[in-house]
A and B are shown apart, each in its own frame.
Chain A
Amino acid sequence: MVSVQSDRPGSGQGKEELLVPSSVKIVVAGGFGVGKTTMVGAVSEITPLRTEELLTEAGEEIDDLYGVEGKTTTTVALDFGRITINPELVLYLFGTPGQDRFWFLWDELAIGSIGAVVLVDTRRLDAGFGAIDFFERRGIPFVVAVNCFQGSHSYTAEEMRVALDVSESVPLLLCDARDRESCKKVLVSVIEHAMNRLDVMA
């Protein structure tokens, strides 16, 4: 259970009403090693945390003793960050597990989200196709953010749009996942995109 140690929530606090905030989330999706956790870390107010989902192969009610003979559980790590909007509202940013075999977990992450960022790497464009398809099919608002690693600045947004076959209705922007301002722009574009879609539907 590796987890980044981060500032733990303090315990001391004054008298206040027991308010339980509501939460919203944005999903940061993309292939393995594309910079999802870097992006989450660039805007999060805490060092990205890691939590693990334990997947039992058969989903039994009780662990049975056969479990000790062969490893039947897999752990999937989820990295996430947090932005406290105000005392009543918290935004969470979840990076999707990079490995393809955990696609089914994406559903749980995507459900109820404001929208998603599909982060792509110009060196491995094909890793972005799956994520783009996923959100397109589910009608979840998403933007494509091309993480411009050093030495890969030689493409324009339009070239990337053509290469990724992303329709004009989907915002596409170049970004640097390490840069806070750049990642803020990406998040702003997801939220604005979600608002525009809402406007159109209304």
Chain B
Amino acid sequence: MSNSSDWWYDEAAGPMVRPYAMVSGRTRPKPAGEDLTLTTQVRALRTTTDQAALSVEHLEIIKLCRKPLSVAEVAAYLHAPLVVVKVLLSDLIQRGDVITSGPATTVAPVDMNLLQKVLDGVRAI
């Protein structure tokens, strides 16, 4: 910080709490969360696990995911970057607090029935 013109103010300085502070500096999800993509669906289970070990953000995710939501939606509602949300989710998956829609499909849908359902659904909106 030698040059005072390098200081950032307001929005340029970023959020008051740096994003990675929410996840103790971790930038990679645990293995349980490695397959999470933008559209992976997450749903909270009614668990009896000890919640004392969870952060406010973890608890917020559990609350949001009482109805299934995608990783992208969780990130948007939580106002947190995707990578941070993936780390938080990986904690919850490992603990068994949330379940996901299974391994993400990395190939395009090739199921005619599925596409027909999507087509009917879009036409119906």
Give me the interface of A with B, judged by CB distance under 8 Å. 1, 3, 8-11, 13, 18-25, 43, 45, 49-54, 56, 59-63, 69, 71, 75, 78, 80, 82-86, 89-92, 94, 108-109, 111-115, 140-141, 180, 184, 187-188, 191-192, 194-195, 198-199
Which of A21, A83, A194 meets B122, CB within 8 Å?
Answer: A83
A23 contacts B70, CB within 8 Å? yes
Interface size (B, Cβ < 8 Å)?
57
B110 contacts A8, CB within 8 Å? no
Is B54 in contact with chain A by the CB < 8 A criterion? no
Give Cα A62–Cα B27 distance, bound, in whole angstroms. 7
A51 contacts B82, CB within 8 Å? yes
Collect the chain A residues with CB atoms within 8 Å of residue B1's CB: 69
A91 contacts B118, CB within 8 Å? yes
Collect the chain A residues with CB atoms within 8 Å of residue B38's CB: 25, 51, 78, 80, 92, 94, 108-109
Smallest CB gap from A45: residue in B: B125
B99 to chain A, nearest CB (A): 6
A54 contacts B122, CB within 8 Å? no
B82 contacts A54, CB within 8 Å? yes
A60-B27 contact in complex given A23-B41, A23-B101, A91-B122, C-beta closer than 8 Å: yes
Is B52 in contact with chain A by the CB < 8 A criterion? no
A184-B73 contact in complex given A1-B80, A114-B109, C-beta closer than 8 Å: no
A11 contacts B63, CB within 8 Å? yes
A-B contact pairs, 13 of them (CB 8 A): A24-B109, A25-B38, A25-B39, A49-B73, A51-B38, A54-B19, A54-B83, A78-B38, A85-B117, A90-B41, A90-B70, A94-B38, A198-B110
Give me the interface of B with A, judged by CB distance under 8 Å. 1, 8, 15, 19-20, 25, 27-28, 37-43, 45, 63-64, 66-70, 72-73, 75-77, 79-84, 99-102, 104-110, 112, 114-123, 125
B28 contacts A61, CB within 8 Å? yes
B63 to chain A, nearest CB (A): 7
- 14 further A-B pairs in the complex, CB-CB below 8 A; given A51-B72, A82-B70: A8-B77, A9-B66, A9-B69, A9-B77, A23-B39, A51-B81, A62-B27, A71-B8, A83-B122, A85-B120, A92-B72, A108-B37, A112-B104, A191-B122
A188 contacts B107, CB within 8 Å? no
The 7 closest A-B pairs by CB, nearest first: A85-B121, A49-B76, A54-B81, A23-B39, A1-B79, A51-B75, A9-B67
Smallest CB gap from B83: residue in A: A54
Collect the chain A residues with CB atoms within 8 Å of residue B8's CB: 71
